[in-house]
Amino acid sequence: RSKETGRDAITVFDTSMRERIERRVEIERTLRTAIERGEIGVAYQPVVSWPDGRVLGVEALARWTKGTERVAPTEFIDVAEESGLIIPLGAFVLDEALRQVAWMRANIPSAKDMYASVNVSPRQLQSDDFADIVAETLHRHHLPGGALFLEITESVMMGDTLAAASAMTALTSLDVRLSVDDFGTGFSSLSYLKRFPVDVVKIDRSFVSGLAHDESDASLVAAIIKMANALGLATIAEGVETHEQARRLIELGCTKMQGYLFSAPVPMGELVETVQAIGGRTTSFDRRRRCAP
């Protein structure tokens, strides 16, 4: 009996394994043409200064609609990295994000200093012409380097550091700023933060989620903020979903945040309205405060 169960288990395993591989192959095959077919889009999530409600920037997040199906970024970004398709995909997201931010800066008074924050994979940062592509794209949209943040992961600082370090230096001389994404989930150490020209640490959502009820998460977040301050770095908290989390973050000294509390990533067409709605919340706070005795 137990033998049979074992064999069934193996069959199930084989099937799901095969399905996973087939799906990966299918994703790689269709991703090649997805950009040209216009299936790839970009969603934008505001980075908010809180509680004043200023939208400092927007993070660009790739979206893929394949027929009626939406493929999750966590699924296709991995495939793109392994296949090298992240190079054209990344260039596309960068171009779209800068176009959008140039438009926002020119047309929305409260957004005249807004920046785009674009995720960059290790493979892009290690390619020879990455800094040139960034410079060209900024130039094409008539934007200064200060209109762009690039989000790198801790693994970039640990990997082939020579190529990545020279790209980072070139980017810094363009005034492009760098942030470390998902901070605390990798193996980075303080020495990396000191060695690389990083400006911002993004505190990973997994620590933020427990902030209001888990003492160890709260201590971790407090430690990250202290450490960042000591190194002269700013912090942005990711995945803020509740007012209680936002309140704790402010107490701990982190006043820049992203998350569903303010807005999920939205398509380009909803960005203006979203930015104004976030700012509008503050206006009502201020009004209340002014009326208070």
Residues making contact with ligand C2E (CB under 6 A)? 45, 61-62, 72-74, 77, 90, 93, 119-121, 151, 181-182, 205, 238-241, 258-260, 265
Give the shortest CB-122-to-ligand C2E separation in angstroms: 9
What tokens appear for 286 in the block? 């201020």
**With binding defined as CB under 5 A, does residue 188 bind Mg ion?**
no
Query: Which one, 154 or 238, has the nearer CB to ligand C2E?
Result: 238
Q: What is the 3-state secondary structure (H, E, C) of 112-172?
A: CCCEEEEECCHHHHCCCCHHHHHHHHHHHCCCCHHHEEEEEEHHHHHCCHHHHHHHHHHHH
Give every CB contact of residue 149 below 8 A, 6+ residues apart in sequence. Answer: 57, 115, 116, 117, 118, 176, 177, 178, 179, 199, 200
Q: Which of 94, 181, 263, 275 binds Mg ion (CB under 5 A)?
A: 181
Query: Which one, 138 or 240, has the nearer CB to ligand C2E?
Result: 240
Q: Which of 138, 151, 211, 221 binds Mg ion (CB under 5 A)?
A: 151
Binders in 107-136 for Mg ion, by CB under 5 A: 119
Give the shortest CB-283-to-Mg ion separation in angstroms: 29
Give the shortest CB-14-to-Mg ion separation in angstroms: 31
Number of helices and strands in the chain (H, E): 12, 10
Count CB atoms within 10 A of the CB of residue 253. 12
Q: Residue 61: name its binding partner from Mg ion, ligand C2E, none (Cβ under 5 to 8 Å by kind).
A: ligand C2E
Indicate the residue whose CB is closest to ligand C2E. 259
